[in-house]
Structure formats: structure tokens, C-alpha cells
Amino acid sequence: MPQTDIADTTRSTIGDRSAHAASMGADTDPDAGDLSERDRAILDFEAAWSRHAGAKEEAIRAELGLTPARYYQLLGRLLDSAEAVVYDPMLVKRLRRIRDAREHARLARAAAGR
């Protein structure tokens, strides 16, 4: 069985999602049009990543040319944008729920430590 490079699989999945989004009118939607190509690539990468195992930080550098810290800064900003919700509502809502749960847990730990 040939070994599949995770970066190749991610690249293929991202390309498929971008083509699908374009065919569904994501590029013609006025709100989605405000997303840059990089923003769409970040959202596509995050959506594809949950289906793969491996070193995410290495894939971020290889696929997007960003440091992991910068990637997460940009992803956090995207989660708060209406354009990202238009582009991929299920992904953005799922990531917001995860972010909110982590923040709630952090606040609970801080309150318990008082």
C-alpha cells in the first residue's frame, strides 16, 4: 500500500473544498468576497485537518507558510467575522463552541483557585 503524505492529502482536500465553495457561489457572495485567499485557505485547512492525524504545526508551516502562532491568531480573528460564517457556517460555529468551552473552563479554574 503506497504511503500517503499528509500534506498531499490536506492539499487535495483543501483544493476540493475551494472548488466546491466556488461552485456554490462563495466567491460571488458579497459577504464571502471579503475573505482573502489566505483566510479561505486557513478555514479550508482547519476543516480538512480534523480528518487527519499528524503534526499540525508542521503542516501549517508547509501548507500555509505561517508560524503556528500566527495561524492561530488569524483563525481566532476569522472566527469572529461574519464573512467566515457565510463561507463555512458549520466549521465556524463548531470552532466557536470549542473556543467558548475552553474559555469557560479557564475561567472556572481561575475562580476555583481564588
**Is residue 101 scored above 90 in pLDDT?**
yes
The pLDDT tens digits of the residues spanning 27-53 come to: 444 445 689 999 999 999 999 986 666
Contact 45, 60 (CB under 8 A): yes
Residue 54 is assigned to a structural domain of this protein: yes
Domain assignment present for residue 1? The answer is: no
Instruction: Please write the tens of the pLDDT for every residue from 58-67.
Output: 899 999 999 9
Residue 90 located in a structural domain = yes
Provide the number of structural domains found in the chain: 1
Q: Which domain holds residue 107?
A: 6-112
Q: What is the pLDDT of residue 29?
A: 47
83: in domain? yes
Report the chain's mean pLDDT, rounded to a whole number. 80
